[in-house]
Amino acid sequence: MKVRNSLRSLKNQPGAQVVRRRGRLFVVNRQNPRLKARQG
């Protein structure tokens, strides 16, 4: 999982979902599980 300032490029990938957990923004992708990130 990467920690990034901006999730814009990851959330535009096909299959990406933006999820809010514990007050943080996460991007998870079931089609391509390598593209996981959290913001900040």
Digits of tens for pLDDT over the chain (40 positions)? 999 999 999 999 999 999 999 999 999 999 999 999 999 7
What is the pTM for the complete model shown? 0.82
Q: Where are the domains of the chain?
A: 2-33
Instruction: Say how many Å lie between the first and final Cα of the chain, rounded.
Output: 12
Distance of CA 19 to the CA centre of its chain: 8
Is the Cα torsion angle 8, 11, 32, 39 positive or negative in sign?
A: positive
pLDDT at 18: 96
The first and second tokens of residue 12, run together, are 């535009």
Measured CA to CA, the distance from residue 27 to residue 34 in angstroms comes to 11
